[in-house]
Amino acid sequence: MRQIIGRLVVWAGCGLALGQAPVRAEAPGLLAIQDARIVTVSGGVIEKGTVVVRDGIIAEVGAAAAVPKGAWVVDGKGLTVYPGLIDGLSTWGIPQAAAAAPAAAGRGGGAPVGGPGGSPAAAPRSWGPQDRPGTTSWVKAADLVKLEDRRIETARGAGFTTAVTFPKQGLVAGHGAVVNLGGETSGRMIVDPGAGLYLSMTPSGYTGYPSSPMGILAYFRQLWIDAGYYRLAKAMYAQNPANVKRPDYDRALEGVLEAKRVLLPAASPVALERILKLASDLKAPFVVYGVVQGYAMADRLKQAGTPVVLNVKWPTRERDADPEREESLRTLEIRDKAPASPAALAAAGVKFAVSSDGIDAPKDVIRALKKSIDLGLKKEDALKALTLNAAEIYGLAGKLGSIDKGKIANLVVTDGDLFDDKTKVKMVFVDGVKFLPPPEAPQTGPGGVSGRPSMAAGEEN
């Protein structure tokens, strides 16, 4: 039981280093947001109501909810309260990932997380699955998350209170964690250290086998076979230690066995078929990420019953393209239709969250969805993608994703509709702790990019 007496001021570490005013966070034990418009996501909109938060948990919500005695009160007139937004697939909170981000051309590109020492020349040569190439299944995002990641503040400023953060280097990168974007300690931030095991099709951190997508698929299969065998061998040994050989401890396989679910990438319908086949062989619950051509995958995803984390960095024309280079109909169509993916997925009944992957300024995640709303996505579905869907996908619907009694008090308070470009985030609550958005124009993404959706070259995935 946490005891918070009076006001606790949390100093966000990186603020000092940047020479900016430190972030002020207030954590009253009991508070109420009164007379606000409340978008619960799970149960519709309360045009005028109150949200009561006690010790970081939503204690009450409703039009008639009473403000308890002794509560700090926020006057919600003219304000809208949303559940805190969730980045469904992120690296926020892992400072090394931020440092590596500008260098990496694609997901998983660039040097290994380990730091500058990991030059490709030093990468080990893999001669087969037994070398466990690019496999760090023992790595946990929960162990890497640091309060100091400066992106946390920016994300919060855009209304994000939670990120499902993954290590991304290598083929079997490690376990993601559901991370609240605020807390006194890094440990406090972790909502669930076992969000799932992140698998990538981009080789890094080794040379040699496997170098091709088909090699990678084969490797995943052998790894899971080996893990299954390892589990069996351990069980048999436990039953009969006298006659069964004691299996060698293998941290790579332990990491695989620990996974509640795996995250598999599929940008296109063709990639999806491959991934579905793989998933059926791995016999593990899975989430498809990196989806770009969602508009063409919706039916198949629905049929497969798999949830999705959608990439919302919509592919754009290369800024510096050869004006005489003819682009293919296929490329043009992908660029034209990609932003219509959320609507297509929603219409097909596919559960999808969205990812900040490839997007520098967190606010641009919301802007990207605004584009999809213009193309027919219902606002409620857009909001769900940013909140409840993510919570459900990662099995945390009881804790996150909507404004319901008993859930974690992750809230965003705005002065208008979330998807209106003019709307400002007035305050954010993470675990019931209030954060004020950073002052005007601090939108310093890793590359110092301004708030516009960046249109970097070659994002066709």
Where along the sequence are the contacts to other proteins (CB under 8 A)?
105-106, 109, 120, 125-129, 202, 207-215, 217-219, 221-222, 225-226, 229, 232-233, 236, 240, 243-245, 269-270, 273-274, 277, 317-318, 320-322, 324-330, 332-333, 335-336, 450-452, 457-458, 460
Of 198, 247, 211, 205, the residue nearest 127 (C-alpha): 211
Residue (48 or 330) nearer to other proteins, CB = 330
Sequence-separated (6 or more) residues with CB below 8 Å from residue 150: 14, 18, 95, 98, 444
Question: How many Cα atoms within 13 Å fall on the side-chain side of residue 379?
Answer: 8
Query: Shortest Cβ distance from residue 130 to other proteins (Å)?
Result: 10
Of 138, 342, 358, the residue nearest 253 (C-alpha): 138
Decide if 342 contacts 291 (C-beta within 8 A).
Answer: no
Residue (193 or 446) nearer to other proteins, CB = 446
Residue (69 or 245) nearer to other proteins, CB = 245
Two structure tokens written together for 13: 């570490």
Sequence-separated (6 or more) residues with CB below 8 Å from residue 322: none
Query: Shortest Cβ distance from residue 123 to other proteins (Å)?
Result: 12
Residue (47 or 326) nearer to other proteins, CB = 326
| Residue 101 C-alpha from the chain's centroid | 15
Query: Shortest Cβ distance from residue 236 to other proteins (Å)?
Result: 6
- What are the angstrom distances between the C-alpha of 70 and each of 6, 27, 29, 32, 410? 11, 14, 10, 10, 21
Residue (43 or 124) nearer to other proteins, CB = 124
Two structure tokens written together for 445: 């993404």
Two structure tokens written together for 389: 């869907």
Of 45, 39, 48, 46, the residue nearest 78 (C-alpha): 48
State residue 120 phi and psi, 5-degree precision.
-60, -30
Query: Shortest Cβ distance from residue 196 to other proteins (Å)?
Result: 23
Query: Shortest Cβ distance from residue 49 to other proteins (Å)?
Result: 35
Residue (19 or 323) nearer to other proteins, CB = 323
Q: Quickly count: other Cβ atoms within 10 Å of residue 303's Cβ.
A: 11
Instruction: Identify the DSSP state of 369.
Output: H
Query: Shortest Cβ distance from residue 271 to other proteins (Å)?
Result: 9
Query: Shortest Cβ distance from residue 107 to other proteins (Å)?
Result: 10
Residue (24 or 335) nearer to other proteins, CB = 335
Decide if 139 contacts 200 (C-beta within 8 A).
Answer: no
Query: Shortest Cβ distance from residue 327 to other proteins (Å)?
Result: 8
Residue (16 or 455) nearer to other proteins, CB = 455
